Amino acid sequence: MVALCGLIVGSSTQEEQLRSGGPGNASYDYVVIGGGTAGLALASRLSASASVAVIEAGGIYEQDNGNQSIVPYYGLTMPFLATTEDYPRQPLMDWGLLSTPQPSAGNRRIHYAQGKTLGGSSAINTMAYHRGTIGSYQRWADLVGDQSYTFDKILPYFKRSCTLTPPNLQKRNAPNATVLYDPSAFDNSLNGPLQVSWGNWVDPTQSWLARALQAIGQTLNPSGFSSGKVSGGAWVPSTIDPKDATRSSSESSYLRSVLEKKKAGITVHLHSQATKILFNDDKKATGVAVSTEGRGYVISAKKEVILSAGVFHSPQLLMLSGIGPAATLSAYSIGILSDLPGVGQNLWDQIFFNVLRGISVPNTGTYLATPAQQAVALQQYFSNAAGPYSSAGGYLSFEKLPPKSLAGLSSRTASLLSQFPSDWPEIEYIASGFPSGIANLTTIGAISATLLTPLSRGNVTIRSASISDPPVIDLGWLSDAADGETFVAAFKRVREAWNSPVIANITVGPEIVPGDSVFSDADILAFIRQSAQPIWHASSTCAMGKAGEKGAVVDTKARVFGVKGLRVVDNSITPLSVPGHPQSTVYMLAEKIAEDILKGR
């Protein structure tokens, strides 16, 4: 048991002890709102030379979610990640956010999971690790007018955030799932806290469907996806600690590594919701109003307040505190500190659909179908950090749609797509599967396509002046016709992969979803509107930008325009949704802004 500054790790009385950092006025150099992915990375760095309080609405996931958030395989199957309105609730872990009905997506209200726990969404995500493209970060740098955001310049922050363990080929036992990567994109001498490694298990279904994607032109990328090139296929690493094959979250990596140093100046307030950011007459943030189980108090910031409440709650808290579109604030009688129309706007969201077919090879779930199989797998997991439980997935495949796909697009859509940087893929394909439950059919295979160039934009706003009402989230899905068109082209690519001769021996029967009767462009689009799902990469609702520019909320050092002493650091400040999976970029941002703060910038 380690007891430090209010947070006790490894004790059954954890929760109780944490309240020693609990209700009551107090004062710290920095107050971080949200102990999530960015929040804990940033707080850990600042704590090296300052006192830091972290205000987190949730608890400790290792206690509240059993092994579900620890064992990699469960990361793919947690029930509360379901996106339908009737999803199984897990209020100890998830905010339970529902979107407004989406008119261009079957009028569905989408359950959009977001981690409400120490570690935030890094405690519930599917752990894929890779970075964006050189062109996407160049676009970011150009949009915000700061060339310190180019890939070359941010690479040091990616490097210092993580430690990469090369694949263990013996445990992995899959010569047909070759890992290619560029070791120079990592630097283990920096002892980055986040653990990044390859699963000690390969899902046979994925290895087969990967072949199909390769056969339609998405060949293996020789450098993996962490050195600025994101095209073709790769077995990507995951945020898994290879020592015992457990999830590496911002809590299990950053926070714990700081607490272990025993000098940590970090105090975590659990089950504590920030209700408002407080300012003095000079519009300088002086602290945060906090509520812990109904008890209100103030945590003061001697230096700065840092808001890291995530893509939906950071804009909400800004608005509740008087920063946002003037009309919205006035509508709820909130005094206006800074009229920033961009707060809550510019929501980018990557969404996907699946095409399902029966296949005759097993998937990971097949190996865990019976108690006897689970016993074997548990043995492999606990004695060797290997086997089906030890891995979260792995094969990703990206492409710029080929000319024959683009030829079918309207000139408007083609023109909009051509405005993305030349190395920014339109589509990411992911292969997966699940046991079929049908007697003579081993597995149902899934090939999904995710749209990485969404032109639809959503928004986030408030419904009252109180934190107790959740934010109003309009995802804007498929509201721009270009997205539907691009998706129809991607759907045809997915069918092409399914029909590839290299997997002819393993496909069984006709297409299950949506089925061969869905054939015309109109029917394909209707299927996509009904079935699209979030891949949980929402971003950009407090966008970084140039001072005075419409839509800009923070400057390139993450300082909120119009007030002092307040930064926002999380996935809400990226001005665009970097193609692919965002967690690496969130950690990079936390490292970059922490350095700015520590250097007095």
Ligand X SMILES: *[C@@H]1O[C@H](CO)[C@@H](O)[C@H](O)[C@H]1NC(C)=O
Task: List the binding residues for FAD.
Answer: 536-537, 582-583
Residue 586 in contact with ligand FAD, rule: CB under 6 A: yes
Cα-based angle 501, 451, 308 (whole degrees, multiple of 5): 135
In whole angstroms, give the CA distance from residue 537 to residue 514: 25
Quick one: which of 51, 68, 122, 133 contacts ligand FAD (CB under 6 A)? 122
Residue 114 in contact with ligand FAD, rule: CB under 6 A: yes
- Interface with ligand X by CB under 6 A: which residues? 25, 66-67, 71, 174, 176, 204, 207-208, 211, 297-298, 358, 361, 378, 381, 389, 440-441, 459, 461, 474, 476, 501-502, 504-505, 508-509
Q: Is 313 a catalytic residue?
A: no
Minimum CB–partner distance for residue 318 and ligand FAD (Å): 11
- Judged by beta carbon, residue 361 or residue 568, the one nearer ligand FAD is 568
In whole angstroms, give the CA distance from residue 487 to residue 233: 19
Token look-up 């400790």 returns 60
Contact 275, 467 (CB under 8 A): yes
Residue 210 in contact with ligand FAD, rule: CB under 6 A: no
* Binding site partner of 25, from ligand X, ligand FAD, none, Cβ cut-off 5-8 A by kind: ligand X
As given in the structure block, the two tokens for residue 80 are 């509360």
Residue 458 in contact with ligand FAD, rule: CB under 6 A: no
- Residue 2 carries which side chain, given as an amino acid letter? V
Cα-based angle 215, 216, 218 (whole degrees, multiple of 5): 85
Quick one: which of 108, 172, 256, 537 contacts ligand FAD (CB under 6 A)? 537
Minimum CB–partner distance for residue 150 and ligand X (Å): 31
Minimum CB–partner distance for residue 127 and ligand FAD (Å): 5
Minimum CB–partner distance for residue 367 and ligand FAD (Å): 22
Minimum CB–partner distance for residue 170 and ligand X (Å): 13
Minimum CB–partner distance for residue 502 and ligand FAD (Å): 27
Q: Which residues pair with 305 in a beta bridge?
A: 31, 566
* Binding site partner of 211, from ligand X, ligand FAD, none, Cβ cut-off 5-8 A by kind: ligand X
3-state secondary structure 163-199: EEECCCHHHHCCCCCCCCCCHHHCCHHHCCCEEEECC
- Judged by beta carbon, residue 6 or residue 484, the one nearer ligand FAD is 6
Q: Is 111 a catalytic residue?
A: no
- Judged by beta carbon, residue 66 or residue 79, the one nearer ligand X is 66
- Judged by beta carbon, residue 86 or residue 282, the one nearer ligand X is 282
Angle in degrees, 0-180, between the axes of helices 583-598 and 151-161, rounded to the nearest 10: 90
Residue 536 in contact with ligand FAD, rule: CB under 6 A: yes
Nearest to 530 by CA among 458, 478, 486, 452: 478
As given in the structure block, the two tokens for residue 470 are 């959740």
Binding residues: 536-537, 582-583
Binding letters toward ligand FAD, positions 465-484, x by CB under 6 A: --x-----------------
Residue 124 in contact with ligand FAD, rule: CB under 6 A: yes
In whole angstroms, give the CA distance from residue 305 to residue 53: 10
Residue 125 in contact with ligand FAD, rule: CB under 6 A: yes
Rg (CA), the chain: 23
449 CA to centre of own chain: 17
* Binding site partner of 58, from ligand FAD, ligand X, none, Cβ cut-off 5-8 A by kind: ligand FAD
Instruction: Please list, in sequence order, all residues whose beta carbon lies within 8 angstroms of the beta carbon of residue 258, skipping any fewer than 6 positions away.
Output: 44, 47, 48, 264, 266
Residue 242 in contact with ligand FAD, rule: CB under 6 A: no
Alpha helices, DSSP H, located in 475-582: 481-498, 521-531
Residue 581 in contact with ligand FAD, rule: CB under 6 A: yes
As given in the structure block, the two tokens for residue 479 are 């509201």
Map the footprint of ligand FAD across residues 271-290, applying CB under 6 A. 273-274
Residue 224 in contact with ligand FAD, rule: CB under 6 A: no
In whole angstroms, give the CA distance from residue 392 to residue 237: 9
Minimum CB–partner distance for residue 592 and ligand FAD (Å): 14
Nearest to 11 by CA among 20, 23, 22, 3: 3
Helix or strand (DSSP H, E) at 381: helix 371-384
- Judged by beta carbon, residue 416 or residue 588, the one nearer ligand FAD is 588
- Judged by beta carbon, residue 21 or residue 476, the one nearer ligand X is 476
Per-residue exposure over 69-86, b if at least 16 CB sit within 10 Å of its own CB, e if not: bbbbbbbbebebbebeee
- Judged by beta carbon, residue 256 or residue 357, the one nearer ligand FAD is 256
Contact 514, 552 (CB under 8 A): no
Quick one: which of 34, 199, 324, 545 contacts ligand FAD (CB under 6 A)? 34
Which residue lies nearest ligand FAD, judged by its C-beta? 36
φ, ψ at 145 (rounded to 5°)? 65, 40
CA distances from residue 319 to 272, 291, 310, 342, 475 in whole angstroms, order as listed:
19, 18, 14, 11, 18
As given in the structure block, the two tokens for residue 325 are 């579109």
Active-site residue set: 537, 581
Chain residues binding ligand FAD by CB under 6 A are 33-39, 55-58, 81, 113-116, 120-122, 124-128, 273-274, 308-311, 313, 317, 467, 536-537, 570-571, 581-583, 586
